[in-house]
Amino acid sequence: MLALAKQPPHRVLLIDGIFEAARAPWHKEILVLLAEGFDVWGAASLGALRAAELHRFGMRPEGAIARSYAAGRIVGDDEVAVAHAPAALGHRALSLAQVDVRATLAAALRARVLTGDEARRLRAASHAIFFKDRTMPALQSAAAGLLPPDRAARFTAWLPTGFVSQKARDAQAAIAAALAAPFVPCRRPLPPETLFLKRLRDERS
Q: Can you give the residue ranges of every domain in the chain?
A: 2-80+167-204, 98-164
Q: Among 89, 54, 57, which Cα is nearest to 69's?
A: 54
pLDDT class of 198 with cuts at 50, 70, 90: confident
| Interval 89-137: pLDDT, tens | 887 888 999 999 999 999 999 999 999 999 999 999 999 999 999 999 9
Is residue 161 over pLDDT 70? yes
**Left, alpha or beta for 194 (phi > 0: left; psi -120 to 50: alpha)?**
beta
User: In which element (H, E) is residue 39 found?
Assistant: strand 39-43
Is residue 200 over pLDDT 80? no
CA distance 14 to 66: 11
Is residue 14 over pLDDT 80? yes
Is residue 19 over pLDDT 90? no
Give percent above pLDDT 90 in the chain: 69
pTM: 0.87
Q: What is the pLDDT of residue 141?
A: 94
* DSSP β-bridge partners for residue 61: 42
Is residue 205 over pLDDT 70? no
CA distance 39 to 121: 40
Give percent above pLDDT 70 in the chain: 97
| Residue 180 vs residues 11, 58, 127, 183: alpha-carbon distances, Å | 11, 19, 36, 9
pLDDT class of 196 with cuts at 50, 70, 90: confident
User: In which element (H, E) is residue 41 found?
Assistant: strand 39-43
